[in-house]
Chain A
Amino acid sequence: DAGVTQSPTHLIKTRGQQVTLRCSPKSGHDTVSWYQQALGQGPQFIFQYYEEEERQRGNFPDRFSGHQFPNYSSELNVNALLLGDSALYLCASKLRGLAGSDTQYFGPGTRLTVL
């Protein structure tokens, strides 16, 4: 049973560029959340998707947007990249409606470096 997968593993971009990160949830999961983890910090919640719509959002600007596809996979898009966007981007998945915070699983992350 494949867990949460993310691609690419690493990415290098320059300021002002746009980037798209991808996530496939664990088999059977329909809800995807994205987190940003700066070096030496804990993950910060960006947003959550289920039924192909954004359902909750953290304190991130509109430059951060997302999409969820009918197969539950998801993309995170970041426009007009800033140096401060350099971080590990984590995807987490769970089955909506299932209580218990032990049901959320994280992927290995995509390390984004903005030069």
Chain B
Amino acid sequence: QKEVEQDPGPLSVPEGAIVSLNCTYSNSAFQYFMWYRQYSRKGPELLMYTYSSGNKEDGRFTAQVDKSSKYISLFIRDSQPSDSATYLCAMLRSDYGQNFVFGPGTRLSVLP
């Protein structure tokens, strides 16, 4: 079993839809959770970062963490064609650590 599981998609939605992206993990030592967006042929770009269970909102993006279920989500409201990218979840055991463990990513297409 992989440490971090993520549905690879692809996921296609119409413009304006609410998108839900999810990851599950097996290691309860993970304490820090990130969502990255990666456009084709580019490096990952940090979208959201959180370390506590509950919700964190930033504009159209909401990150949700449920440590008891080992489950994290990213919600995108009012999705735009420019949101079309691969979304990677990532986790860390320590905030000073560098050994990020990434999920395989979900490809999202937002259709105009």
Interface residues of A (CB under 8 A from B): 4, 31, 33, 35, 40-45, 48, 55-56, 58, 90, 92, 97, 99-102, 104-109, 111
Contact = CB atoms under 8 A, between A and B. Distances in A.
Contact of B104 (A42, A56, A105, A107): A42
A62 to B, nearest CB: 18
24 contacts: A35-B100, A40-B104, A41-B104, A42-B6, A43-B44, A43-B88, A43-B102, A45-B100, A55-B98, A58-B99, A90-B44, A92-B43, A99-B95, A100-B95, A101-B34, A101-B92, A101-B95, A104-B46, A104-B98, A105-B46, A106-B43, A106-B44, A108-B43, A109-B42
Contacts of B60: none
Nearest to B92: A101
B32 A101 contact: yes
In which size bucket is the chain B interface? 20 to 34
Contacts, number: 67
Given A56-B97, A101-B95, 14 more contacts: A40-B105, A42-B88, A43-B100, A43-B102, A44-B102, A45-B100, A92-B43, A99-B95, A101-B46, A104-B100, A108-B42, A109-B41, A109-B42, A109-B43
Interface string B1-28: 0001010100000000000000000000
Contacts of A107: 43
Nearest to B98: A48
Contacts of B101: 45
